[in-house]
Amino acid sequence: MHLRLINPNTSVPMTEQIEVAAWRASAPDIEISAVCPSEGAASIESHTEEILAAAAVVAEIERAQSAGRRIDGFVIACFGDPGLDAAREVASVPVVGIAEAAMHAATLVGRHFGVVTTLPRTLGRAEDLVRRYGFETACVSLRAADVPVLALEDPSSEAVDAIAAEALRAVEEDRADAIVLGCAGMAGLCRTLEARLGVPVLDGVAASVGLVSGLVRMGAGTSKRGEYAYPPRSMPTSAMPRNRVR
């Protein structure tokens, strides 16, 4: 089984980190590859950047499927799940977003969960996704650590402490008994944060690998009837940014 993870920003270090997190959550018979665009947004922290991210996601799926190499499932490795609906339109295999996967997983290990994301301006998008996925009752906390996405690549920054502090408030003040990490760049922090918090901490990269691989094993692909039917015209992928493959 071959799973392709798409990091829609241009950060190679973050793409490498995402790939490592995915390998750790995979099984021996799963091959993981991760890509990011060579042009576009360095981080996804605004609606404008999300549009670029969505275009990069669709371009990579169309390019990957036309290349002839077998890919059994795709993961959108950005917590805004940019381009998820369009990705499901063009893909012939399952596509899962990391926010979607992490929220579903959180409801399996606790009654209530909290989301801890990066910048305050991204909280609206997280709130939209909570409603879209039907978790208004389960999600009791949406908090931002006020940490830029690219600060997660700097081991000397105070990003981990800031994330841990907001997660602790979600647990102690908001009654969350599980924490969802609201950025693909937080992949790999679960065990560190669990030791501090004493509750399950869910990383969407790992959760999505488990979920999409399960769909592949079940033989369940995206329905091509109705909304997710193939679009009438294909996008001109030659006009889209090229992606780097890890």
DSSP state of 138: T
pLDDT for position 69: 78
Q: In the chain, pLDDT over 70 holds for what percent of residues?
A: 92
User: Of 22, 32, 35, 34, nearest to 2 (Cα)?
Assistant: 32
Burial label for 48, CB within 10 Å (0-12, 13-18, 19+), is exposed
pLDDT for position 41: 83
Q: Check whether 63 has a pLDDT greater than 70.
A: yes
Indicate the fold that domain 2-98+206-245 takes in CATH: Rossmann fold (3.40.50)
Same fold, 2-98+206-245 and 99-204: yes
Stretch 101-106: mean pLDDT: 96
pLDDT tens digits for range 2-39: 999 999 999 898 899 899 999 999 999 999 999 998 88
Helices then strands, counting H and E runs in the chain, come out as 8, 9
Burial label for 210, CB within 10 Å (0-12, 13-18, 19+), is middle
For the sheet with 95-97, list strands across it. 95-97, 73-76, 2-6, 31-37, 243-245
Domain boundaries of the chain, sorted by first residue: 2-98+206-245, 99-204
Radius of gyration of the chain (CA): 17
Considering the segment(s) 99-204 as one domain, its CATH architecture is: 3-Layer(aba) Sandwich (3.40)
Structure token digits, residue 108: 């399996």
